Amino acid sequence: MRKLLLLVGALVVAHVALLFVRVSGAAEAARPDAVNVGIVLDVGGLGDKSFNDGAYRGAQRAEKELGAHIRLIEPGEGADREAGLRLLAAEKMDLVIGVGFIFTDDIAQLAKEYPKTNFAGVDYALATDRAGNPVPPPPNVAALKFKEEEGSFLVGALAALVGNSKKVGFVGGMDVPLIQKFEAGYRAGVLAVCPTCTVVAQYAGVTPEAFRNPGKGKELALNQYQQGVNVIYHASGSTGLGVFEAARQTGKFAIGVDADQYNEAPGRIVTSMVKGIDVAVFDMVKRVQDHKFKGGIYTFGLAQNGVGYVYDEHNRALIPDSTRARLEQLKADIIAGKISVPSTR
């Protein structure tokens, strides 16, 4: 036992000594006039190659271009979401952002307790009144919404143009309005360039599990490819990995969603419909810096660069210049209001 006591003593000494170690350059002071922004990521944290990483990119850009001071929190469990927001609000941040619709209730709650703090929610879920109209969020909350249907419209047109088939495919995750919005825009885009084409649309299920079922995704995709479909657009989370696997196996094509998914199946991903989480985050920080922030619904569509499609050195070879020109024309038309894109089936 005496040995153990000695060990305890030695460890205490070592620990206390380490506490006084100073690393040069640590914890530099923020600029006094900088905007302080706190971001709480969804459970899953950095490295998800999607929402969380997108928000982080936007934050980095704001740090570099606007000199904003950013604090990120990665929650470990459900209850940490509110705790994270509260921690940041209590530190009198100028802006507190929650990434993901799951933050909706927590943001609404805290916005009441901290009426002087600005909040923003990515994909903030708006309640609807009896007539079915969206109820605006609290006055200090910005609801960041994305027009996924517009981006989907463009990739739908692309699918029809490069697909070389009268049939184009769609694989959705869970069959809910949020995902049906993708299908509606996609369908409209297909028909805009190829009125005689048909869209084969299938969903992986009716539970959130449908977003995590690559096996089902592969099964649906193989089936569609067999029917003569050459390009499939997926909006199905990791279920889409199964779609890519089917594309790789059959040598056909697929379109990614949310972020650039080219690397999941190089050469087989024609493009990805990307959501500009970074754009929205940066935009909010800038509004706060310019003292122009106010609560309300912010919609990010093609016009705001809130949605779009990937066109870069990886997939340039897959998209002929003429097709590219056609897509850009469609995009301009949507922005100009000449084409109105439906958001429901």
* CB nearer other proteins, residue 67 or residue 251: 67
Angle between the N-to-C axes of helices 177-193 and 321-336, in degrees from 0 to 180, rounded to the nearest 10:
120
As beta bridge partners, residue 198 has 167
Considering the complex, what minimum distance in angstroms separates the CB of residue 307 from other proteins? 19
Considering the complex, what minimum distance in angstroms separates the CB of residue 50 from other proteins? 17
Exposed, middle or buried by CB within 10 Å (0-12, 13-18, 19+), for 309? buried
| H/E element, 162 | helix 148-163
Restricted to residues 6-65, the positions that interact with other proteins (CB under 8 A) are 7-8, 11-12, 14-15, 18-23, 25-27, 43, 45-46
Considering the complex, what minimum distance in angstroms separates the CB of residue 177 from other proteins? 9
| CA-CA-CA-CA dihedral for 45, 300, 199, 323, to nearest 10 | -110
Binding mask 196-235 for other proteins (x = CB under 8 A): ----------xxxx--------------------------
75 belongs to the binding site for other proteins (CB under 8 A): yes
Binding mask 83-102 for other proteins (x = CB under 8 A): xx-xx--x----------xx
Binding mask 118-137 for other proteins (x = CB under 8 A): -------x------------
Q: How far apart are CA 217 and CA 60, in angstroms?
A: 34
- Which of 150, 118, 84 is closest to 299 using CA atoms? 150
Considering the complex, what minimum distance in angstroms separates the CB of residue 285 from other proteins? 17
Size of residue set near other proteins by CB under 8 A: 49
Exposed, middle or buried by CB within 10 Å (0-12, 13-18, 19+), for 172? buried
Q: How far apart are CA 82 and CA 76, in angstroms?
A: 11
Q: How far apart are CA 286 and CA 294, in angstroms?
A: 12
66 belongs to the binding site for other proteins (CB under 8 A): no
The interface region with other proteins, picked from 2-10, 147-155, 184-192, 308-316 by CB under 8 A, is 2-10
Q: How far apart are CA 139 and CA 118, in angstroms?
A: 9
- The binding site for other proteins (CB under 8 A) comprises 1, 4-5, 7-8, 11-12, 14-15, 18-23, 25-27, 43, 45-46, 71-80, 82-84, 86-87, 90, 101-102, 104-105, 113, 125, 174, 178, 206-209
